[in-house]
Structure 1
């Protein structure tokens, strides 16, 4: 037993032929044994965003961005749960390794930002972060309305109109997010009539058949202490060219459709004290079977010029102050001869029916022959300003 033990401790291993084995020779010559290579270290992806994880009270004028260090961002998805419980996806764009949201934020909701990236070894890593936006009341937000509405077919004089329910104190901030494009393209500009209304018109009348697209990306845009409540879009079409030229000295209205004179109509305008305004007017409404009331033009019963409620079959509104182009069968004997109305342009019932059929909202009524001008804000008086004066009304 001890010999075996000694042999086990000191004897040299031999092969069957009596020579030292290869393993024994290698061990004796001092050749190093092979060991496995260490695994390379993979740095984890470092997620970057301009909104912190679990943040609260995030301002609604924040445009979310996301990127990745120690990796390549491959996908990002931003969504929120609306106050009605619906999940709403927010579109965005991934460029040069940074994802940018296509819209600003909604108030008082919870957002989820889901990110995917490839780390240095090519493996996919994912993370989802959440945050909440600041609460806003309706008194903190500016409601936005755009006209003409989507799908409308309007005349060559119709401007784009954006109205706000609260004053916009930072007009430039809002205007930067309001755009009008058209096919064919036409140069144009915004003009602020007030802090609650802005118009966009081309340099000259729209070309018939033009397709117009409006974007007012005002959701979350800040103006003083207020924010835009929503974004709006509208796409509409320009119809044929219809221009009526009213001459209240000759008491005639000449109508041209697509540049061709098609009809001459006898008219009567405002009598002394109720002078019809001269200038380019745009039809803003079409109505039938309405009642004209003296009170709507500031007359009280017993005052000079007061008249009883009067039914009218065909009427096209020209100003906010009460001027219409309308049928007036009671004055047919004066039409083409003298001005006897309270400021409206009167025509016969037959001609009223024809005008109602052939004119649309946005068509032009260009009146001459009086010394009372159109004023901005009284209906659509936009075309009475020169192009240079119009451009000065922009906030940019």
Structure 2
């Protein structure tokens, strides 16, 4: 099992010897077959009397000739520790981190043919608090907010996760959706960010629960995870924005229907807007763009109704100074300029997590410059997983949909600062 391999712990296997009955086959009494049914063979990890077990430990189970019917984990004071079963039934995961330097007992029962059972107890002690430096992780969703249908779950790390440790980290990142919409995680090459999405957009009304169960997890040879984080979210209405550089127009869709076309001015040739599929990350009724650290020269300007699209500072925002250019010519520093009235209207329509697609500009969106999970097709996205992705996990729509496609269709493939422009 993976847990046994990761922690180098002993396992305990219990198997009963079947009863041997003397006599001729023809004389077999009723119930003999039940008596001869062998009980399940059960292996549990951490192994009995294991020490220095990480507080991220799970109760691992492997069974032959039956199935797990009971798992109970208690601490050294007799209090039960709640656990949840992994979908593949390979282990039971404590719903919160175990505590350092404590002893725990797991009691596991497996039931086999004709009700024969095997019960195994294992007691283990967790390690003292690790002196190794921690890797900090940040989750992009917060408590019970409502988001758009293109929201990817994003976890960022500082410092980056080494490639050889990504599978272990990914295995401790949990996402549940109601109704179920399974997906996968995908890593950026640099290991500083991992994103989760399903093959299709979330359905409106979907409830999402996320947990990054990384506290105390050994990460590579030289670090451990910092803390567990969890959040719940709800998916709101379907809204998407399609921005066309050729026409200098933004088409705003809700539930697949065109609501409005909005004239825009994008980035001028020296500071072009990125083309690609991005997601609204933040919304500000009022903010200040300060680019005085830019080597190309900077400025300070106050703006209203700004919606962030990239880490690098591309926003949709009110730009009353360029209203005469909107729909005609590009004059911005990379942002999407709209009128004051349209910016105010957009703020009432959009949500963090709504898809924004820009096409026809001089440059393309870089991976990781914002929440870029939808900037590639599903097959390319799934290649970034450090764990196997189920082969049957595919988009329900294989053709590139209309920009205003409702949730459930697939998306087209195509240094955080308030720089703006």
User: What is the TM-score with the length of structure 2 in the denominator?
Assistant: 0.66
Residue number in structure 2 paired with 1:84: none
Secondary structure, in 3 states, of the residue corresponding to 2:333? coil
Q: C-alpha deviations, 1:186-238, integer Å up to 9, x for none?
A: 34221101323210112122222222222333344332223334433322111
Residue number in structure 2 paired with 1:335: 326
Residue number in structure 2 paired with 1:137: 131
Relative to structure 1, the CA distance from residue 331 to residue 204 in structure 2 (aligned partners, 3 Å threshold; closer, same or farther) is same
Q: Does 1:354 align with 2:351?
A: no
Q: Does 1:196 align with 2:189?
A: no
2:368 to 373, 377, 384: 377
Secondary structure, in 3 states, of the residue corresponding to 1:356? helix
Residue 248 of structure 1 contacts residue 269 of structure 1 at CA under 8 Å; is this kept in 2?
Answer: yes
Q: C-alpha deviations, 1:344-384, integer Å up to 9, x for none?
A: 11011111111112111111211112131111011122211
Q: Superposition pairs for residues 59-74 of structure 1, below 5 Å? A: 59-60=54-55, 62-63=57-58
CA distance, structure 2, for counterparts of residue 65 and residue 185 of structure 1: 25
Q: Does 1:162 align with 2:162?
A: no
Residue number in structure 2 paired with 1:241: 238
Q: C-alpha deviations, 1:244-294, integer Å up to 9, x for none?
A: 111122111111111111111111011121111111121101112222223
Q: CA deviation at 1:59?
A: 4.3
CA distance, structure 2, for counterparts of residue 51 and residue 395 of structure 1: 27
Q: Does 1:174 align with 2:173?
A: no
Residue 48 of structure 2 contacts residue 122 of structure 2 at CA under 8 Å; is this kept in 1?
Answer: no
Residue 105 of structure 1 contacts residue 133 of structure 1 at CA under 8 Å; is this kept in 2?
Answer: no
Residue number in structure 2 paired with 1:251: 248
Relative to structure 1, the CA distance from residue 256 to residue 222 in structure 2 (aligned partners, 3 Å threshold; closer, same or farther) is same
Relative to structure 1, the CA distance from residue 153 to residue 113 in structure 2 (aligned partners, 3 Å threshold; closer, same or farther) is same
Of 238-247 and 211-220, deviating more is 211-220
Q: Does 1:281 align with 2:244?
A: no
Q: Does 1:207 align with 2:203?
A: yes
1:149 to 142, 148, 171: 142
1:291 to 288, 291, 295: 288
Q: Does 1:185 align with 2:176?
A: no
Relative to structure 1, the CA distance from residue 158 to residue 129 in structure 2 (aligned partners, 3 Å threshold; closer, same or farther) is closer
Secondary structure, in 3 states, of the residue corresponding to 1:161? strand
Runs (5+) with no aligned partner, structure 2: 1-43, 62-69, 86-90, 108-120, 388-421
Relative to structure 1, the CA distance from residue 79 to residue 294 in structure 2 (aligned partners, 3 Å threshold; closer, same or farther) is same
Residue number in structure 2 paired with 1:18: none
Secondary structure, in 3 states, of the residue corresponding to 2:200? coil
Residue number in structure 2 paired with 1:71: none
User: What is the TM-score with the length of structure 1 in the denominator?
Assistant: 0.70
Q: C-alpha deviations, 1:60-88, integer Å up to 9, x for none?
A: 4544689xxxxxxx99652369xxxxx98
Residue 63 of structure 1 contacts residue 105 of structure 1 at CA under 8 Å; is this kept in 2?
Answer: no
Q: CA deviation at 1:57?
A: 4.2
Relative to structure 1, the CA distance from residue 229 to residue 320 in structure 2 (aligned partners, 3 Å threshold; closer, same or farther) is closer
Q: Does 1:265 align with 2:262?
A: yes
Relative to structure 1, the CA distance from residue 61 to residue 184 in structure 2 (aligned partners, 3 Å threshold; closer, same or farther) is closer
CA distance, structure 2, for counterparts of residue 329 and residue 251 of structure 1: 16
1:111 to 100, 103, 107: 103
CA distance, structure 1, for counterparts of residue 173 and residue 105 of structure 2: 27
Relative to structure 1, the CA distance from residue 138 to residue 150 in structure 2 (aligned partners, 3 Å threshold; closer, same or farther) is farther
Residue number in structure 2 paired with 1:318: 309
Residue 80 of structure 1 contacts residue 89 of structure 1 at CA under 8 Å; is this kept in 2?
Answer: no
CA distance, structure 2, for counterparts of residue 202 and residue 222 of structure 1: 28
